[in-house]
Structures are given as C-alpha cells and as structure tokens.
Amino acid sequence: MINFNEPIYINKGLNYISDAIFINKRLNGDGVFTGKCKKWMESKFSSNEVLLTTSCTHALEMGAILCDIKAGDEVIMPSYTFVSTANAFVLHGARIKFVDIRPDTMNIDEKLIENAITEKTKAIIPVHYAGVACEMDTIQEIAKKYKLLVIEDAAQGVMGRYQDKYLGSIGDIGCYSFHETKNYTMGEGGAILVNNLNFKERAEIIREKGTNRTQFFKGEIDKYSWVDKGSSYLPSEMNAAYLYAQLEIAEEIKENRLATWDFYYQGLKILEENGFIELPFIPENCTHNAHMFYVKAKDLDERGNLIHYLKSNGIGAVFHYVPLHSSIAGLKYGEFIGEDHYTTKESERLVRLPLYYGINKQDVEYIVKKVCDFYIRH
C-alpha cells in the first residue's frame, strides 16, 4: 500500500528531543528549541514576531481574540476550507460569510469579497489552498479601503510565496500548521505570525494564559499577573525540537516535495491535454511549496471511481472538504454570499495523490501509470 501521507523522519529530530530532555533539562514551552524555531521563522519569513503554538487551529483562535471578535461580528472566508478556519471565529460569536472560490486555484475569489462586506464585517480570512497564494494585493487593498483586518490561514502555505513575500507574512496575522499532514511537522503544532506590531504584546499575553509572563522573563516587569483573557497555546519543547531539525533543512524538504509534484505534473499532463482531467494551476506571481498534488476528475461519480480504482491498486488517494456552508454547523453559523458557482462543483471533482517528503520515485511512477490506466480503461 502506498500511503497518502507519511510523517517526516529526520535523525536529528530525535537527537534534538534527547537534547531537550538530557542536556537542556527542560520540556515545557518557550525553552531553547522553541526559541530557535521562533528566531528561524522570524528571520526567514520577515515577520515582526512568530510564536510557536499548539496548532494552527489555536493560532487562528488567537487571531480571533486579537481582532476582538464579538457576537454579531462578521468574517469573510471561502467555504472550501478546513473547519478550523471558521470555528476559530464562531467560538467568539462571529457569523461566517462564505464566498465562492476561483476554479483555477481553489482559493477565495478576490473579486467577490467586496460584495460580502457589511457594517459588521471585521476581517477577511484568505486560505492559501495547497500552498498557492490568494491574490493578496487585491485582498490587502480591500481591507485597507474598508478598515478590515486580514488573517491569513497559511496552514498549508509554509515556505510558499506571493511575489517576494512569504505566505503568512502579508496580512495583519498569519497562521501556520505543523500538523503531521503538513510540509513541516511537530505532530500537532503551529505558529502565529504577528505582522502587525499593534498586536505583538497582546499576542504574547493571550498565549501565556492571559498573563504578562513573557514580559516578566524578558525582565521588562518585576512580577507577572493576570492581565487579559487567554489560554495555554505553548507547545512542549519536545515538539519544537523535532520541528527545528526540519526547519534547518527547510529548503531541501521543499525541493524534494517539488520534485515529486513536478513528476506528477509532467506524467499526467497528457491526460489534461486530452481533456480527461484538470491539473493544478500556479499563477505567475506565486511560488508554491508543493503542499499538495491534486487532479480534478470530470464529476463526483468519476472521482469516486478513480479513488476506488487507485485504492484497489494499493494507492491511498483521498478527497477533502465538504464545503462548510453546506455542513450542519455551517448552516447554523454562517451563510453563502452570492452564487455557489464553483465551491461545490469543483470540490466534488478533486482527488489528492500521495505526496510526502522522501516518497519513493518508483511509487510515484506507479501512481502516474495507474491514473493513466484508469482513463484508458474508461
């Protein structure tokens, strides 16, 4: 069986965990390795402050608190996304305004955002699907015009770029995931990029259970206490240690994934040219990170058959995202603004193929062959 995903394993990751335990003798949050990850990301992604978190879900929740989301506020996002993008804001009483996606990138259609803005709108949440950037210049302009905040869900976008900027570093806040299924992993984990300096101090407080403990450790104050709402969003040093080994070779990991992505693309191009499937599209001004390789079948039926065929040939292909606006919670907490031209239709066609760091070249060749065989047979 070729698994859909396998977690990254790097020898150094284990050594670093051992260092955290036996040398640094410190396992709780914000120790040596968390600090190294933070510094590395701040310098690489040019963000004012990067805080490691327990997940991207939690980074998004911190974002909602920083935006002061209150009952009745509205936020705009695509319906084609993971539940956490919406949940983080629903938890604080927001109503979700779902907007249609572009069929080429599966990202929010920037041209439809303005139509969803009302007096209650607080923020726009672009999701960089598959590590391919949303049209951020347009989104930033709209946000400026209507005085809205931008929180990037860059869970899938670590190391991807829009023009010369890293995803997650463009909006007021950016959120990364280091979940096992993402490009860089600590099992469960994430980061919040605080690009807007106005949020810096408060972000540290919210992450430290609503205390000013971080300032205390920096020597800025002489005792710490409860100053704001917050929670515990600090990951363990063991998780940070595992992640740091990957950040050190972040480019190599990206190149490895890109090579697999390109191989799929070249191998399956012939099916696209003959009108059987559609392949991912990368706009000119985007540098993607090969988070995902997907193909689009003709429709829901054909996709089901393709996944079944691949499975019966030992290949773990998957689909994802029942559009949020049509889910039980989505119907309760939000609504779709405008016409659903593409969200449902395109999401029903999409199939993700196995892609992970170090995937066997022969396995990828075999998968390409099997996808081609499927279309020859049918």
Ligand X SMILES: *Cc1c(COP(=O)(O)O)cnc(C)c1O
User: Where does this chain bind ligand X (CB under 6 A)?
Assistant: 55-57, 81-82, 84-85, 127, 153, 155-156, 177, 179, 190
Residue 63 C-beta: closest distance to ligand X, Å: 11
Looking at the Cβ atoms of 153 and 204, the one nearer to ligand X is: 153
Residue 337 C-beta: closest distance to ligand X, Å: 20
Long-range contact pairs involving 32-41 (C-beta distance under 8 Å, separation at least 24) = 32/237, 33/237, 33/240, 33/241, 33/243, 33/244, 34/234, 34/235, 34/237, 34/240, 36/240, 36/244, 37/191, 37/240, 37/243, 37/244, 37/247, 40/244, 40/247, 40/248, 41/191, 41/193, 41/247
Looking at the Cβ atoms of 58 and 370, the one nearer to ligand X is: 58
Instruction: Compute the distance between CA of residue 174 and CA of residue 150 in angstroms, rounded to an integer.
Output: 8
Looking at the Cβ atoms of 142 and 175, the one nearer to ligand X is: 175
Looking at the Cβ atoms of 322 and 372, the one nearer to ligand X is: 322
Looking at the Cβ atoms of 110 and 302, the one nearer to ligand X is: 110
- Four-point Cα dihedral 219, 231, 240, 127, nearest 10: -120
Residue 251 C-beta: closest distance to ligand X, Å: 22
Non-local (6+) Cβ contacts of 252 within 8 A are none
Residue 305 C-beta: closest distance to ligand X, Å: 26
95-99 vs 334-336, strand pairing mode = parallel
Residue 200 C-beta: closest distance to ligand X, Å: 22
Place of tokens 């040398």: 23
Structural contact between residues 184 and 178, judged by C-beta atoms closer than 8 angstroms:
yes
Looking at the Cβ atoms of 155 and 253, the one nearer to ligand X is: 155
Residue 303 C-beta: closest distance to ligand X, Å: 20
Looking at the Cβ atoms of 56 and 108, the one nearer to ligand X is: 56
Nearest to 225 by CA among 236, 215, 240: 215
Structural contact between residues 19 and 241, judged by C-beta atoms closer than 8 angstroms:
yes
Looking at the Cβ atoms of 54 and 212, the one nearer to ligand X is: 54
Looking at the Cβ atoms of 169 and 211, the one nearer to ligand X is: 169
Residue 48 C-beta: closest distance to ligand X, Å: 22
Looking at the Cβ atoms of 182 and 370, the one nearer to ligand X is: 182
Residue 329 C-beta: closest distance to ligand X, Å: 15
Residue 105 C-beta: closest distance to ligand X, Å: 13
Residue 84 C-beta: closest distance to ligand X, Å: 4
Instruction: Compute the distance between CA of residue 289 and CA of residue 282 in angstroms, rounded to an integer.
Output: 11
Instruction: Compute the distance between CA of residue 32 and CA of residue 356 in angstroms, rounded to an integer.
Output: 28
Place of tokens 């990029």: 193
Instruction: Compute the distance between CA of residue 76 and CA of residue 63 in angstroms, rounded to an integer.
Output: 14
DSSP three-state, residue 268: helix
Structural contact between residues 204 and 177, judged by C-beta atoms closer than 8 angstroms:
no
Structural contact between residues 356 and 5, judged by C-beta atoms closer than 8 angstroms:
yes
Nearest to 52 by CA among 210, 226, 223, 238: 238
